[in-house]
Amino acid sequence: MDLLKFLKNNLFVQNLVGNIISFTPPYLELSIAKYLAIKKALFVTAHDATYGSYLEFGVFTGSSFTFAMKANKKIEKIFGKIDCEFIGFDSFKGFGEIEKGDENPSFKSEKFFVDEKKILKNIEKCGKGQKLRIIKGFYKDTIKNKTTTDLKIDKSRVIMIDCDLKESTHLALEFIKPSIQEGTIILFDDYNYFKGNKDKGEYAAFSNFRKKYPEILFRKIFDFAYSGEAFIACKIS
Protein backbone atom coordinates (compact mmCIF):
# COMPACT_ATOMS: atom_id res chain seq x y z
CA MET A 1 0.00 0.00 0.00
CA ASP A 2 1.22 3.52 -0.80
CA LEU A 3 2.51 5.03 2.47
CA LEU A 4 1.26 8.54 1.76
CA LYS A 5 -2.22 7.23 0.93
CA PHE A 6 -2.22 5.16 4.12
CA LEU A 7 -1.26 8.17 6.24
CA LYS A 8 -3.92 10.38 4.62
CA ASN A 9 -6.61 7.82 5.38
CA ASN A 10 -5.42 6.92 8.88
CA LEU A 11 -4.96 10.15 10.80
CA PHE A 12 -4.57 8.24 14.06
CA VAL A 13 -0.95 7.58 13.02
CA GLN A 14 -0.02 11.25 12.94
CA ASN A 15 -1.92 11.80 16.18
CA LEU A 16 -0.03 8.95 17.84
CA VAL A 17 3.38 10.16 16.69
CA GLY A 18 2.52 13.75 17.65
CA ASN A 19 1.43 12.66 21.11
CA ILE A 20 4.60 10.66 21.69
CA ILE A 21 6.90 13.49 20.63
CA SER A 22 4.99 16.19 22.52
CA PHE A 23 4.97 13.97 25.62
CA THR A 24 8.78 13.68 25.61
CA PRO A 25 10.18 16.24 28.09
CA PRO A 26 12.33 18.89 26.32
CA TYR A 27 15.18 18.48 28.81
CA LEU A 28 15.31 14.76 28.05
CA GLU A 29 15.57 15.52 24.33
CA LEU A 30 18.27 18.11 25.07
CA SER A 31 20.32 15.63 27.09
CA ILE A 32 20.09 12.87 24.48
CA ALA A 33 21.02 15.26 21.67
CA LYS A 34 23.96 16.54 23.71
CA TYR A 35 25.14 12.98 24.35
CA LEU A 36 24.99 12.19 20.63
CA ALA A 37 26.96 15.35 19.79
CA ILE A 38 29.70 14.41 22.26
CA LYS A 39 29.81 10.86 20.95
CA LYS A 40 30.01 12.12 17.36
CA ALA A 41 32.86 14.51 18.22
CA LEU A 42 34.79 11.80 20.07
CA PHE A 43 34.33 9.43 17.14
CA VAL A 44 35.44 11.96 14.51
CA THR A 45 38.54 12.94 16.49
CA ALA A 46 39.45 9.30 17.14
CA HIS A 47 38.92 8.47 13.47
CA ASP A 48 41.29 11.27 12.42
CA ALA A 49 43.81 10.63 15.22
CA THR A 50 43.22 14.04 16.79
CA TYR A 51 44.56 13.26 20.23
CA GLY A 52 44.38 15.34 23.37
CA SER A 53 42.12 16.14 26.30
CA TYR A 54 38.35 16.45 26.61
CA LEU A 55 37.53 19.77 28.27
CA GLU A 56 34.09 20.70 29.57
CA PHE A 57 33.16 24.18 30.74
CA GLY A 58 29.92 23.98 32.71
CA VAL A 59 29.81 20.54 34.32
CA PHE A 60 26.60 21.21 36.31
CA THR A 61 25.31 17.76 37.38
CA GLY A 62 28.08 15.91 35.53
CA SER A 63 25.68 14.26 33.10
CA SER A 64 27.52 15.03 29.85
CA PHE A 65 30.94 14.80 31.50
CA THR A 66 30.37 11.25 32.73
CA PHE A 67 28.78 10.32 29.41
CA ALA A 68 31.89 11.49 27.56
CA MET A 69 34.02 9.09 29.58
CA LYS A 70 31.63 6.21 28.94
CA ALA A 71 31.40 6.96 25.22
CA ASN A 72 35.17 7.16 24.92
CA LYS A 73 35.53 3.65 26.33
CA LYS A 74 33.26 2.31 23.59
CA ILE A 75 35.09 4.26 20.90
CA GLU A 76 38.41 2.89 22.10
CA LYS A 77 37.14 -0.58 21.22
CA ILE A 78 37.05 0.57 17.60
CA PHE A 79 40.20 2.67 17.36
CA GLY A 80 42.31 1.32 20.21
CA LYS A 81 43.44 2.90 23.47
CA ILE A 82 43.46 6.71 23.38
CA ASP A 83 45.36 8.80 25.90
CA CYS A 84 42.61 11.28 26.79
CA GLU A 85 42.30 13.17 30.05
CA PHE A 86 38.84 14.44 30.98
CA ILE A 87 38.91 17.87 32.60
CA GLY A 88 35.85 19.71 33.88
CA PHE A 89 35.47 23.32 35.00
CA ASP A 90 32.63 24.52 37.22
CA SER A 91 31.92 26.44 40.41
CA PHE A 92 28.90 24.23 41.22
CA LYS A 93 27.52 27.46 42.73
CA GLY A 94 25.89 29.06 39.72
CA PHE A 95 27.34 31.91 37.69
CA GLY A 96 28.24 34.28 40.48
CA GLU A 97 27.68 37.91 39.49
CA ILE A 98 26.04 38.19 36.06
CA GLU A 99 26.88 41.22 33.93
CA LYS A 100 23.95 43.22 32.58
CA GLY A 101 24.69 42.22 28.98
CA ASP A 102 24.49 38.55 29.97
CA GLU A 103 21.10 38.74 31.68
CA ASN A 104 18.59 36.18 30.43
CA PRO A 105 15.31 35.09 32.09
CA SER A 106 16.35 31.42 31.94
CA PHE A 107 19.96 31.84 33.07
CA LYS A 108 19.63 32.59 36.77
CA SER A 109 22.58 31.87 39.03
CA GLU A 110 20.57 30.12 41.74
CA LYS A 111 19.16 27.70 39.15
CA PHE A 112 22.62 26.20 38.73
CA PHE A 113 23.45 25.58 42.39
CA VAL A 114 24.05 21.84 42.83
CA ASP A 115 25.21 19.35 45.46
CA GLU A 116 28.92 19.46 44.68
CA LYS A 117 29.89 16.58 46.93
CA LYS A 118 27.26 14.26 45.44
CA ILE A 119 28.19 15.15 41.87
CA LEU A 120 31.93 14.75 42.36
CA LYS A 121 31.38 11.38 44.00
CA ASN A 122 29.36 10.22 40.99
CA ILE A 123 31.98 11.53 38.55
CA GLU A 124 34.70 9.60 40.36
CA LYS A 125 32.54 6.47 40.28
CA CYS A 126 31.78 6.76 36.57
CA GLY A 127 35.35 7.73 35.73
CA LYS A 128 37.00 4.72 37.27
CA GLY A 129 40.03 3.81 35.17
CA GLN A 130 39.99 7.16 33.34
CA LYS A 131 42.27 10.16 33.81
CA LEU A 132 40.17 13.03 35.06
CA ARG A 133 40.36 16.37 36.82
CA ILE A 134 37.74 18.78 38.08
CA ILE A 135 38.78 22.42 38.40
CA LYS A 136 36.42 23.91 40.98
CA GLY A 137 35.62 27.60 41.25
CA PHE A 138 34.34 30.58 39.31
CA TYR A 139 36.20 31.16 36.06
CA LYS A 140 37.41 34.58 37.19
CA ASP A 141 39.34 32.74 39.91
CA THR A 142 40.42 29.59 38.06
CA ILE A 143 41.12 30.42 34.41
CA LYS A 144 41.04 34.20 33.93
CA ASN A 145 44.39 35.47 32.60
CA LYS A 146 45.55 31.86 32.38
CA THR A 147 45.83 29.32 29.58
CA THR A 148 45.85 25.56 29.27
CA THR A 149 49.64 25.71 29.55
CA ASP A 150 49.32 26.87 33.16
CA LEU A 151 47.32 23.74 34.01
CA LYS A 152 49.67 21.46 32.08
CA ILE A 153 47.12 20.73 29.37
CA ASP A 154 48.82 20.16 26.03
CA LYS A 155 46.34 19.66 23.18
CA SER A 156 42.55 19.59 23.20
CA ARG A 157 40.60 16.90 21.39
CA VAL A 158 37.00 17.89 22.14
CA ILE A 159 35.81 20.97 24.04
CA MET A 160 32.28 21.31 25.38
CA ILE A 161 31.33 24.94 26.01
CA ASP A 162 28.21 24.97 28.15
CA CYS A 163 28.82 28.36 29.74
CA ASP A 164 25.57 29.97 28.58
CA LEU A 165 26.89 33.53 28.98
CA LYS A 166 29.17 35.70 26.85
CA GLU A 167 31.67 36.57 29.59
CA SER A 168 32.20 33.04 30.88
CA THR A 169 32.47 31.74 27.29
CA HIS A 170 35.04 34.46 26.53
CA LEU A 171 37.16 33.35 29.50
CA ALA A 172 36.92 29.70 28.45
CA LEU A 173 37.95 30.43 24.85
CA GLU A 174 40.93 32.57 25.84
CA PHE A 175 42.01 29.82 28.22
CA ILE A 176 41.88 27.03 25.61
CA LYS A 177 43.50 28.95 22.77
CA PRO A 178 47.03 27.40 23.02
CA SER A 179 45.57 23.89 23.10
CA ILE A 180 43.59 24.16 19.87
CA GLN A 181 45.03 22.03 17.07
CA GLU A 182 43.81 21.16 13.59
CA GLY A 183 40.96 18.76 14.22
CA THR A 184 39.92 20.07 17.63
CA ILE A 185 36.12 20.12 17.87
CA ILE A 186 34.34 22.75 19.94
CA LEU A 187 30.72 22.12 20.94
CA PHE A 188 28.66 25.17 21.94
CA ASP A 189 25.56 24.01 23.80
CA ASP A 190 23.78 27.38 24.00
CA TYR A 191 24.95 29.00 20.80
CA ASN A 192 21.67 30.44 19.52
CA TYR A 193 19.90 31.80 22.58
CA PHE A 194 19.48 35.48 23.50
CA LYS A 195 16.94 35.91 20.66
CA GLY A 196 19.68 35.53 18.08
CA ASN A 197 21.41 38.72 19.24
CA LYS A 198 24.89 38.70 17.68
CA ASP A 199 26.32 40.70 20.56
CA LYS A 200 25.29 38.31 23.31
CA GLY A 201 25.90 34.80 24.60
CA GLU A 202 28.18 32.10 23.29
CA TYR A 203 27.69 33.32 19.71
CA ALA A 204 29.15 36.74 20.48
CA ALA A 205 32.08 35.35 22.46
CA PHE A 206 33.07 32.93 19.69
CA SER A 207 32.58 35.55 16.98
CA ASN A 208 34.95 37.91 18.83
CA PHE A 209 37.42 35.08 19.37
CA ARG A 210 37.54 34.27 15.66
CA LYS A 211 38.11 37.93 14.78
CA LYS A 212 40.90 38.21 17.35
CA TYR A 213 42.66 35.04 16.17
CA PRO A 214 42.14 34.86 12.38
CA GLU A 215 45.04 32.42 12.13
CA ILE A 216 42.72 29.73 13.50
CA LEU A 217 40.12 28.82 10.90
CA PHE A 218 36.93 27.06 11.98
CA ARG A 219 34.28 25.27 9.97
CA LYS A 220 30.83 24.46 11.25
CA ILE A 221 30.25 20.71 11.09
CA PHE A 222 26.83 20.11 12.65
CA ASP A 223 23.94 21.40 14.77
CA PHE A 224 22.73 19.60 17.86
CA ALA A 225 19.96 19.80 20.44
CA TYR A 226 17.78 22.93 20.42
CA SER A 227 20.49 25.58 20.27
CA GLY A 228 23.84 23.85 19.88
CA GLU A 229 26.42 24.12 17.12
CA ALA A 230 29.72 22.31 16.58
CA PHE A 231 32.85 23.69 14.93
CA ILE A 232 36.15 22.09 13.95
CA ALA A 233 39.48 23.88 13.78
CA CYS A 234 40.26 23.09 10.15
CA LYS A 235 43.43 25.12 9.62
CA ILE A 236 45.98 26.89 11.82
CA SER A 237 48.46 29.15 10.09
Does the pLDDT at position 111 exceed 90? no
Residue 15, domain member (yes or no): no
What is the largest distance, in Å, between two alpha-carbon atoms of the chain? Answer: 66
Q: Which pairing describes strands 216-224 and 228-236: parallel, antiparallel, or unpaired?
A: antiparallel
pLDDT in tens, 119-172: 999 999 998 889 999 999 999 999 999 999 999 999 999 999 999 999 999 999
- 185 touches 217 (CB < 8 A): no
CA atoms within 13 A on the CB side of 116: 13
Residue 4, domain member (yes or no): no
Higher per-residue pLDDT: 202 or 114: 202
Q: What is the pLDDT of residue 55?
A: 98
Does the pLDDT at position 1 exceed 70? no
Q: How far is CA 204 from the centre of its chain?
A: 16
In which domain, by residue range, is 218 found? 25-236
Higher per-residue pLDDT: 112 or 27: 27
What is the CATH number for 67? 3.40.50.150
Q: What is the pLDDT of residue 65?
A: 97
pLDDT in tens, 216-225: 999 999 999 9
Residue 139, domain member (yes or no): yes
Q: Quickly state the pLDDT bin for 107 (edges 50, 70, 90).
A: confident
Does the pLDDT at position 37 exceed 70? yes
Kindly calculate the radius of gyration of the chain based on its CA atoms and give it in whole angstroms.
19
- 119 touches 90 (CB < 8 A): no
Residue 10, domain member (yes or no): no
Residue 23, C-beta contacts closer than 8 angstroms, at least 6 positions apart? none
Residue 55, domain member (yes or no): yes
- Least Cα distance to 113 among 145, 146, 91 occurs for 91
- Least Cα distance to 190 among 75, 25, 33 occurs for 33
Number of domains in the chain: 1
Residue 9, domain member (yes or no): no
Q: How far apart are CA 75 and CA 82, in angstroms?
A: 9
pLDDT in tens, 46-69: 999 999 999 999 999 999 999 999
